[in-house]
Amino acid sequence: MGHFIELTAADGFKFAAYEARPLGQPKGAVIVLQEIFGVNAHIRAVVEGYAAMGFLALAPATFDRLQPGIEFGYTPADITAGITLKAAAEALPAPGVQQEIQAAVDHAASAGKVGVVGYCWGGLLAWRAACLLSGVSAVVTYYGGGMTVAAEIARQPKCPVLAHFAQTDQSIPLEGVAAFRQAHPVVEVQMYPATHGFNCDHRAAYDAAAATLARERTLAFFAQQLV
């Protein structure tokens, strides 16, 4: 079972992270980056799932710099509140919440090579981590909102990246995915007959087949890159 710890970013800001450790010696580490709903029950379950697979896993609370303790559900009101917080986080002066992610990576490095996996907004943050941060050996993005706009496509990853996208994602046009794929032939891009949020079994968008296949591919990718 995981628990919250406190980490400190390079600028001295202290923030929470939900951490779970495997029973034996870790075979590496996985940083889990939240959606716009905070480090909620779903994200904590994802962390514990990676720990069960043998990784030291932790999810930094990337909203703490704005409002600590955020844990939203998936109602329309929750979605609106999450979008508002995400916009505020994106408006922070650079490097913004990447400082929290770097601190999480540095903390986890004692377990071995460090991978990063992110969902929705966390997918965008994971892509940036692949391009901007140090100590990251592999990145997996799930339907990274904003990854396919020109400014993000222009970034260059410093580590191997696996990107999961959904074919009927209303917030990530297929033309953008095609442009991303063309610009980054070294990135493994996988498409699923599903919609945005297909990995989250706490919401209506959950697609068991797509989530299972994406998880299998993610675990194989991390096994190759981190272990």
DSSP string, the chain: --EEEEEE-TTS-EEEEEEE--SSS-S-EEEEEP-TTBS-HHHHHHHHHHHHTT-EEEEE-TTTTTSTT-B--SSHHHHHHHHHHHHHHHTSSTTTTHHHHHHHHHHHGGGSSEEEEEETHHHHHHHHHHHH-SS--EEEEES-TTTTSHHHHT---SS-EEEEEETT-TTS-HHHHHHHHHH-TTSEEEEESS-TTTT-TTSTT--HHHHHHHHHHHHHHHHHHH-
- Summarised one tens digit per residue, pLDDT across range 153-202 is 999 999 999 999 999 999 999 999 999 999 999 999 999 999 999 999 99
CATH code, 3-226: 3.40.50.1820
Q: What are the extents of the domains in the chain?
A: 3-226
pLDDT for residue 1: 80
List, for the chain, all residue ranges whose pLDDT scores fall below the cut of 70: none
CB neighbours (10 Å) of residue 53? 16
Q: Cα–Cα distance between 218 and 139 in angstroms, integer?
A: 9
